[in-house]
Chains A and B, each alone.
Chain A
Amino acid sequence: MMRRVSILLTAATVLAAATACSGGGPASSSPGTAFDPQSCQGGTLYILDQTSATDEHFDPARIYTSGGGAVPSLVFRTLTTRKRVPGQAGTTVAPDLATDTGTPSDDARTWTYHLRDGLKFEDGTPITSKDVKWGVERSFAPELPGGIPYLRDWLVGGADYKGPYKGEELDSIQTPDDKTIVFKLRKPEGDFPYVATATQFTPVPKAKDGGTAYERHPVSSGPYKVQTHVQDKSLTLVRNPNWSRAVDDQRLACPDRIEATYGLSAAVINQRLSTSAGKDADAITTDTDLSPAELARISTDPNLKKRTVRGRFGYTNFIAFNTKVKPFDDVRVRQAISYAVDRQAAVNAVGGSSLATPATTFLPDQAAFGYQPYDAFPAGPTGNPAKAKELLAQAGLPNLTITLAHRNNDANQDGPAVATAVQEALKQAGVTVRLKAYDQASYRSAQTKPSDEPGVFLSGWGADWPTGGPFLAPIFDGRQILKDGGNYNFAQYDDPKVNAEFDAINKISDPLQARPRWGALDAELGRQALTVPLFHPIYLRLYGKNVKNTYLDEWRGSYDVAMVSVK
């Protein structure tokens, strides 16, 4: 999931307009006319990106998105989708193809959806529940790898299902009529509506499905259809005549045409957006944040500052302990490091208070996750080395030397910059920190394979949807310790009481009821010093001077391309 998270980070970090910060409403930036959803149609929107937002394959079965993604969600409608509004309300689920966000029964083991009326594919054929079923089923086909991992685990019979191409159906998806679809899960999953935002829940017409060739011309159910797509280079979308706002209340779809360019460097994207010359005035980016140096420069220019938006994606950067490795099996050592850490230095290392907030909780500081403020080891903004020394003396380990593992670059904010800040802070507590850098590829496998896992290392975590479950379970649910790799329970922590609480909360299908339970669980886990939360990142993005209604949604921390206008 962390791998996916980095994809999400690139695909998902968006903006909250400077205006959104003050008022919370959609921002309008151009001088003269204010944004009006009724007259926003027209023009061409340009997207300048580093990597293709479609995860290399523009096939809804293979795309891994949070909340449907930025560009994919323009072409692929799903049963539910993220609510397209700025602020915390944007972390909730809204019906998309369905009439509601789903009706749970049998302790959230069964979920029933009804399609709304008047839905059509780009060729005019009506969309039925059988098309949705086909779309989900084909995501199980081995020839279409990728996508979210949850369906295989959750749907009854999903673990052994090999896709529909050999004539086999998945019986746990039922379509009693053309408008109704029922999912049978093998365990309670109150968060099912959040997962139904993924592109695997897009209708795919069986008659047009050419398997791996489908990505060359996927059939649109959304406001735009694909005109041309050059792998990893460019994507051009034009209007889908069979879509209208009458059947979709979650997409404004203002521009007539959208042209995306991939393969640009971050510096080039930000330079082009800040210059905003020619077509770049009508441009945004879906994957490029401002770097600390760019922020420092832009903050002295009022015109550029106006064209900067701020967003959050629930993410926590932290120090992870492997409690199977000495001396981190001793809770006093973990507590000492928790006290000694200088969060202000860590925040500055990644670009200061505009780009990160100090974290004392593992859950991100957003209500959607069930955030409840706590600080299990209060040490102030710059740490408490005296208290740390005291704990280490109690543990019989004064003059401790440890090796902190980190990535060899700072792109994911778990590189030398943060490692050096931690090293310097622990020095004040008498702990000598040696640094060990891993390259990009080996760092992930070292972290996620318990036999290779370092004793202490820098890591980060973001969830696939904004609730407490996907944020906490992979890290702290003892049944998710995977000995052969892909393990995110870094502490290798297994407490039956905590595991039972995960099961209990998963039965709750009302997010508002689940939130306080996740928050309480987080506080309980925080006291055990299994991780040292360092900071939650904040994303700042620029947009071209003609672009309007720019806000970064709080589900993904990214621009919602379906809502921006260039007119």
Chain B
Amino acid sequence: MSEVLAEVRDPGAAVSGSPARARQVLRRLRSDRPAMAGLIVTGVLVLAAVLAPLLTALEGQDTTTFHTQLLDSARGGVPRGALGGAGADHWLGVEPTTGRDLFARALYGARISFAVAFGTLVVQLLLGVAVGLAAGFGGRWADATLGRLIDLAISFPQLMFAIALLAIVPQSFPRPVLLMLVIGLFNWGGTARLTRGQVLSLKSRDYVAAARLSGASPGRIALREILPGALPQVLTYAAILLPGNMVSEAGLSFLGVGVHPPASSWGQMLSTATTWFRADPMYVLVPGLSLLTAVLAFTLLADGLRAALDPKASLRGRR
């Protein structure tokens, strides 16, 4: 845990909320070009997802209307024209066999992908930080018990269990919320372990000892003294979890246990598009490149954020 040690030696850690520290982080981030590119692309994608109704209205399409006249019915229902029927009416072409607009479906798919990724993150952070804090701060027995629980969470065969769980929950349960819960419930172990490590190292520091001696309650010490010190590391880690969550959602949708029709998500689109990759490459490229771009941008941003928060521990070792 060299990162943790580095953090402990960093005098800024205990006062991470200070404006000076924030300015320093921002300055470091701004000079990190890949991270800035990631930030811009992420911003554009999130904005596009938020504005999906507006953008599809601008295009004049929606996600569910069939356009069978645009399909070559005799050829398996493949879109007529080059690039999967892309043009002024359908900016990214249409879906084979239905003629639904791909731009609209990809945009609304982005909403699901982002919502699930962020929602999952909230679940992961709540669970992970709570368990990590309790394990690190709660004494020997709590640590031993919760520590094994964390081990269990990390070593759990997540994919199999997630598929089973998604298959048995009634269909009336809102699917994106279910996806957040399922992915979140199986992926909080890392956050918990990191939080615990941070708490353990901060616990013995002088300012915590001072608070204890001045009569602060354990709850107050945990939440007001230790948690703020641990958060920068945890949040940095969280930023890296985000692209992972998107991939998890896509994976589950790809396996057919994601969103229900007629809703779209990138994973669902990829899943139906795979058989078409030779006949209609556009159908695969739209969700595939969207997912690639988003995951890459998030990863660059998260990596840059980590470097900016903690230059000494940066794995990339820049400047």
Cβ of B100 to closest chain A Cβ, rounded Å: 9
Main DSSP-derived SS at the A contact region: helix
* A352 near B262: Cβ-Cβ < 8 Å: no
Cα distance, A293 to B261, chains bound together (Å): 20
B311 at the interface (CB under 8 A from A): no
| Majority secondary structure, B binding face | loop
A294 to B97, CA, bound (A): 13
Q: Does B75 contact A (CB under 8 A)?
A: yes
B residues near A423, Cβ cutoff 8 Å: 262
Chain B CB within 10 A, most for which of A352, A382, A436: A352
CB distance from A439 to the nearest CB of B (A): 7
- Cβ contact within 8 Å between B75 and A299: yes
| CB of A401, distance to nearest CB on chain B (Å) | 13
Q: CB-nearest residue of chain B relative to A342?
A: B66
28 contacts between A and B (CB under 8 A): A292-B77, A292-B275, A293-B76, A293-B78, A293-B278, A294-B275, A294-B279, A296-B77, A296-B78, A296-B280, A299-B74, A300-B75, A342-B68, A345-B68, A348-B66, A348-B99, A349-B98, A351-B77, A351-B97, A352-B76, A353-B73, A382-B68, A421-B98, A424-B64, A424-B65, A424-B66, A435-B260, A436-B171
- Our pick among B68, B76, B262, B278 for the contact of A420 (Cβ within 8 Å) is B262
Q: Is the CB of A291 within 8 A of B260?
A: no
B153 CB → nearest A CB, Å: 28
Which residue numbers of B lie inside 8 Å of A, CB to CB? Answer: 64-66, 68, 71-78, 96-99, 167, 171, 256, 260-262, 275-276, 278-280
Determine if A419 and B261 form an interchain contact, defined as CB atoms under 8 angstroms apart: yes
Alpha-carbon distance between A279 and B281 when the two chains are bound, in angstroms: 31
Chain B CB within 8 A of A93 CB: no
Whether A297 lies near B278 (C-beta < 8 A) is yes
Interface members, chain A 550-567 (any B CB < 8 Å): none
Q: Do B279 and A293 touch (CB < 8 A)?
A: yes
Q: How far is the CB of A293 from chain B (nearest CB, A)?
A: 4
Residues of A within 8 A of B76 (CB): 291-296, 299, 351-352, 354-355
| Min C-beta distance of A205 to chain B, whole Å | 48
A353 touching B74, Cβ below 8 Å: yes
Question: Which residues in B have their C-beta under 8 angstroms from that of A295?
Answer: 75-76
Kindly supply a per-residue 1/0 record for chain A positions 282-318, scoring 1 wherever the CB is within 8 Å of any chain B CB and 0 otherwise.
Answer: 0000000001111111011000000000000000000
CB closest residue in chain B, given A417: B97
Nearest-Cβ distance from residue A117 to partner chain B, whole angstroms: 51
Residues of A near B280 (CB, < 8 A) are 293, 296
Number of interface residues of A (CB under 8 A): 37
Contacts of A300 in B (CB 8 A): 75
Q: Does A344 belong to the interface (CB within 8 Å)?
A: yes
- Residue in B closest to A439 when the chains form the complex, CB atoms: B167
Which 8 pairs, one residue from A and one from B, show the smallest C-beta to C-beta distance? A296-B279, A292-B76, A295-B76, A352-B73, A296-B78, A296-B76, A352-B77, A293-B275
B-facing residues in A331-381 (Cβ within 8 Å): 342, 344-345, 347-355
Chain A residues closer than 8 Å to B96, beta-carbon distance:
292-293, 296
**Given contact pairs A292-B77, A293-B276, a sample of 14 additional A-B residue pairs in the complex whose CB atoms are under 8 Å apart:** A291-B275, A293-B76, A293-B96, A293-B280, A348-B71, A351-B76, A353-B73, A382-B68, A409-B256, A420-B262, A421-B98, A424-B262, A437-B260, A439-B167
In the bound complex, CA of A439 to CA of B278 (Å) = 29
User: A542: shortest Cβ distance to chain B, in Å?
Assistant: 14
CA distance A398 to B11 in the complex (A): 69
A9 to B235, CA, bound (A): 55
B279 and A348: CB pair below 8 A? no
Chain B residues, Cβ within 8 Å of A435 = 260-261
Residue in chain A with minimal CB distance to B71: A348
What's the least CB distance linking A341 to chain B, in Å?
A: 13
CA distance A345 to B99 in the complex (A): 9
Q: Mark A97-140, 1 if CB is under 8 A from B, else 0.
A: 00000000000000000000000000000000000000000000
- Expressed in whole angstroms, the Cα–Cα distance for A543 and B259 within the complex equals 38
* Chain B proximity mask over A177-205: 1 for CB below 8 Å, otherwise 0: 00000000000000000000000000000
Is A255's CB within 8 Å of the partner chain B?
Answer: no
Known interface pairs A348-B68, A424-B66, A439-B167; A296-B262 also in contact (CB < 8 Å): no
Among residues of B, the one whose C-beta sits closest to the C-beta of A419 is B261
Q: Are B66 and A345 in contact (CB under 8 A)?
A: yes
A21 to B273, CA, bound (A): 31
Query: In the complex, what residue of chain A is closest to B257 when comparing beta carbons?
Result: A408
Q: In the complex, which residues of chain B have a beta carbon less than 8 angstroms from the beta carbon of A268?
A: none
The residue of chain A having its C-beta at the shortest distance from the C-beta of B280 within the complex is A296
CA distance A293 to B75 in the complex (A): 8
Q: Cβ of A264 < 8 Å from any Cβ of B?
A: no
Is A416 on the interface with B (CB-CB < 8 A)?
yes
In the complex, chain B residues whose CB is within 8 Å of the CB of A436: 171
A395 within 8 A of B: no
Is A267 interfacial (CB 8 A cutoff)?
A: yes
Which partner residue on chain A sits nearest B276 by CB separation? A293
Complex Cα gap A423–B64 (Å) = 10
User: Which residues of B lie under 8 Å from residue A299 when comparing CB positions?
Assistant: 74-76
Q: Which residues of B contact A351 (CB under 8 A)?
A: 76-77, 97
Residues of B within 8 A of A424 (CB): 64-66, 262
Closest partner residue, chain B, to A344 (CB atom): B68
Q: Please give me the residue from chain B that is nearest to A409 by CB atom.
A: B256
Which residue from chain A places its CB closest to the CB of B171 in the assembled complex?
A: A436
Give the docked Cα–Cα distance between A408 and B98 (Å).
18
